[in-house]
Amino acid sequence: MVTGPGTYTVTVTNNGCTSTAQTTVTVTNITASMSGASTLCTGGSTTLTASGGGTYLWSNSPTIAVNVVTGPGTYTVTVTNNGCTSTAQTTITVTNITASISGATTMCTGGNATLTASGGGTYLWNNGPTTAVNIVNSSGTYSVTVTNSGCTSTAQTNLTITNITAGVSVTQPTCGQNNGSISVTPSTGSTYAWTGGLTGQNPLNVGPGTYTVTVTETVSGCTSSTSFTLNASTNITAGGSVTQPTCGQTNGSISVTPSTGSTYAWTGGLSGQNPLNVGPGTYTVTVTETASGCTSSTSFTVNASGNIAAGGSVTQPTCGQNNGSISVTPISGVTYAWTGGLSGQNPLNVGPGTYTVTVTETASGCTSSTSFTVNASTNITAGGSVTQPTCGQNNGSISVTPSTGVTYAWTGGLSGQNPLNVGPGTYTVTVTETVSGCTSSTSFTVNASTNITAGGSVTQPTCGQTNGSISVTPSTGSTYAWTGGLSGQNPLNVGPGTYTVTVTETASGCTSSTDFTINASTNITAGGNVTQPTCGQTNGSISVTPSTGSTYAWTGGLSGQNPLNVDQELIR
C-alpha cells in the first residue's frame, strides 16, 4: 500500500530468475467549499454555491453546485472527483423582524398624539421621521418600516381626532316653580361638571339662573363647555267669592277667578267655574290654566243657614183601630200643608199610612217638610191547639197563643195559658193583652176518647199436670205484660195460680189489665190387693182399684180389673 505520490518499482524473483516492473502514482487533490449568505429574512431565501469540481450532493437532496434554501438549518455538500470526496457545510439562521406601533388612536381637536414603533433596527415613517417615536397632530394612517440585518417589516395605525362638542336642551320652568330641566349631549362615556350646584347629565327641578357645564369624554379626556339660561316663570292665582245659602237650603253658590282659559277641579263633588246649589262645607278648587298647565288652589267656606225644622211625634193606633194622632212642631208663626187629607197642627183619628207636612214660616217664607209614618196596629188573635184525651181519660190539654204579656179568662172552669187534665167539652178563652188591653176570644173542642179492654179465656190443666193455657183479647196491635213469668198473647203449659196481664195498645199506648185463675187438677191413683197362690198352684189373684170408670193394661199377659189364676212368678 502506498500513501503518497511517486514512481514505485517491483522486482519478482523465482528460481533465481528476476523480473522488474514499475508504475507512477499521482495524488488527486480535491477540496470542497461553499459560498453564500448565512442569514435569511423571514419568508425569504438564500443561495448556497458549492465548488471543488466533480459532482455535488447536498444534504437537502440537490445534486448541482447551486442550492437555493428557504429555511434555517445546517446544510452539507459532498464533492466527488476521481473517486475522491470532500465535504463542506454551513449553518443558515433566520432574522425574524416584526414591526409594531403603540400609542393613542384618537386625539382631541388641537392636540397631538405620540406613536412609538418597535421591532429593532432602523425606522422610517411614512410622514418622514426616522426615529422610533413619531409625534403627530393630524388624523390619518401612519406606517413605519423597520429594517434589521437587511430584513424589513411594516406596521400601520389609524389616528382619528375626537371632536367633542357640549350641547344642551333646556326645558324652561313653568308656573312659578323650580321645575326646569336640562339635557346635555353627548349622553354616554362622559362626565359633567356644573356651576350652580347641578349634577349629572340631566339635572331636574332647576330654578331660574345661568349655568355652565363642562363635558369630559372619559376615554379621550377631551372637554367642551357651554352655558345657558333658565328664565323665571309666573303662575295663575285662583280666587273668587261665595253667595251664602238661605233657609237651611243648599242654595249657596261660588264664583271662581280667573274665569276664562282654565279648567276647575273641586273637592266635595262641585264642578265648573260657578257651582250652584252648594250646601254648607269647605270646598277647594284647583284652577288649571289650559295653555300652560299651571295650577292654583284656593278654598271657600259655605256656612250653614238657619231654617225652621219641621218635626213632631206620632201616637200610633192600637188594637187595629184608626185611632192614631200626630203632633207637629213648631207650633206658632207657621202654617201646615198636609198630604193624605190631614189638617192642622195635631190631626186626630189617623189611620195607617205615611203623611207629609210642609211647615211654612210666615215671616221668612222658609219651609220645612217632614214625614210621619202611622203604622197599622194589630189586635191580638187568640189561637192555640188541643191535645185530645186518650184511653178514655180526662187527660186532654189546651195550649193558647199568644203566650206572653196576656191574661186568659175561660169558660168551663179552666185557667191559665195551658190548662191540663181537660175532659170532653167545648171551652172558650178570652185573651187580654196586658199593655194595650186589646182582647180576642176563641173556642176549643175536647173530644171523648175510648180505651181498650183486656179479656180472654182459660183452658184449665188436667190429670194434675201444668198443661193449662190462657187466650187474651184483643189479639192484635197490642203488647202483653204478665205476672207469674208468662209471656205473649196465648201462654201455654200454665200451672195453677192467678195471673195478671196488662195489655198495651201499640198505637195509642192505652193499657188495660185483667186476672186469670188456673185451678189445680187431680189424677187417679192405681192400687189393689194380691191373693197369693197356694200349694204351688197358679191360683193367685189381684184386685185393682179404682174399680170403675177405668181401663187396665197389664204386663205378663194379665187382663181386667181382677185377674185370676196368677202364678207366683207373675206376682213377684
pLDDT digits (tens, 9 = 90+) for 380-401: 999 999 999 999 999 999 999 9
From the centroid of its chain, how far is CA 482?
72
Q: How confident is the model at residue 548 (pLDDT cuts 50, 70, 90)?
A: confident
Whether the domain at 1-96 and the domain at 455-518 fall into the same CATH topology: yes
- Yes or no: say if 123 and 131 are a contact pair by the CB < 8 Å rule: yes
| Max Cα distance, the chain (Å) | 209
Secondary structure class of 324 (helix, strand, coil): strand
Helix (H) / strand (E) containing 571: helix 568-571
Report the C-alpha gap between 93 and 82 in whole angstroms. 34
Q: How confident is the model at residue 195 (pLDDT cuts 50, 70, 90)?
A: very high
Residue 187 confidence (pLDDT): 77
What is the rounded average pLDDT for all residues in the chain?
91
Topology (CATH level 3) of domain 1-96 = Immunoglobulin-like (2.60.40)
Cα 304–Cα 310–Cα 311 angle in degrees, nearest 5? 120
pLDDT over threshold 70, residue 209: yes
Q: How confident is the model at residue 442 (pLDDT cuts 50, 70, 90)?
A: very high
pLDDT digits (tens, 9 = 90+) for 55-70: 999 999 899 989 999 8
- 43 Cβ contact list (under 8 Å, min separation 6): none
Here the cell at position 251 is: 242654595
pLDDT over threshold 90, residue 542: no
Residue 331 confidence (pLDDT): 86
Residue 64 confidence (pLDDT): 93
The three state secondary structure string of 473-509 is: ECCCCEEEEECCCCCCCCCCCECCEEEEEEEEECCCC
Secondary structure class of 438 (helix, strand, coil): coil
Report the C-alpha gap between 277 and 514 in whole angstroms. 97
Residue 27 confidence (pLDDT): 65
Q: How confident is the model at residue 248 (pLDDT cuts 50, 70, 90)?
A: confident
Name the β-bridge partners of 116.
Answer: 102, 133
Topology (CATH level 3) of domain 455-518 = Immunoglobulin-like (2.60.40)
In the chain, domain spans: 1-96, 100-162, 167-230, 239-302, 311-374, 383-446, 455-518, 527-572
pLDDT digits (tens, 9 = 90+) for 149-158: 888 889 999 9
**110 vs 276: which has the higher pLDDT:** 276
Report the C-alpha gap between 140 and 156 in whole angstroms. 10
Residue 570 confidence (pLDDT): 55
Q: How many other C-beta atoms can be found within 10 angstroms of the C-beta atom of residue 299?
A: 10
Residue 105 confidence (pLDDT): 85
- 138 Cβ contact list (under 8 Å, min separation 6): 159, 161
Nearest to 180 by CA among 191, 169, 190: 169
**300 vs 167: which has the higher pLDDT:** 300
pLDDT digits (tens, 9 = 90+) for 498-522: 999 999 999 889 999 999 999 999 8
Determine the average pLDDT of the residues in 269-293: 95
Nearest to 42 by CA among 88, 82, 96: 96
Nearest to 146 by CA among 171, 126, 173: 126
Report the C-alpha gap between 360 and 472 in whole angstroms. 93
Residue 351 confidence (pLDDT): 95
Determine the average pLDDT of the residues in 274-294: 95
Q: How confident is the model at residue 217 (pLDDT cuts 50, 70, 90)?
A: confident
Helix (H) / strand (E) containing 265: strand 262-266
Residue 91 confidence (pLDDT): 93
Q: How confident is the model at residue 12 (pLDDT cuts 50, 70, 90)?
A: confident
Determine the average pLDDT of the residues in 455-479: 93
Residue 231 confidence (pLDDT): 95
Residue 328 confidence (pLDDT): 96
Determine the average pLDDT of the residues in 545-563: 85
Determine the average pLDDT of the residues in 469-486: 94
Which of 93-97, 330-334, 544-548 shows the highest mean pLDDT? Answer: 330-334
Residue 569 confidence (pLDDT): 60
Residue 109 confidence (pLDDT): 82
**328 vs 318: which has the higher pLDDT:** 328
DSSP 43-95: T--EEEEEESSSEEEETTS--SSEEEE-S-EEEEEEEEETTEEEEEEEEEEEE
- 549 Cβ contact list (under 8 Å, min separation 6): none
Q: How confident is the model at residue 82 (pLDDT cuts 50, 70, 90)?
A: confident
Q: How confident is the model at residue 571 (pLDDT cuts 50, 70, 90)?
A: low
Residue tagged 262641585 (cell numbers):
270
Helix (H) / strand (E) containing 570: helix 568-571
Q: How confident is the model at residue 53 (pLDDT cuts 50, 70, 90)?
A: confident
pLDDT over threshold 90, residue 249: no
Q: How confident is the model at residue 173 (pLDDT cuts 50, 70, 90)?
A: very high
Report the C-alpha gap between 444 and 439 in whole angstroms. 17
Q: How confident is the model at residue 163 (pLDDT cuts 50, 70, 90)?
A: confident
DSSP 216-247: EETTT--EEEEEEEEPP------EEEEE---T
How many helices and strands (H and E) does the chain possess? 1, 43
Secondary structure class of 108 (helix, strand, coil): strand
With respect to CATH, is domain 100-162 assigned 2.60.40.10?
A: yes
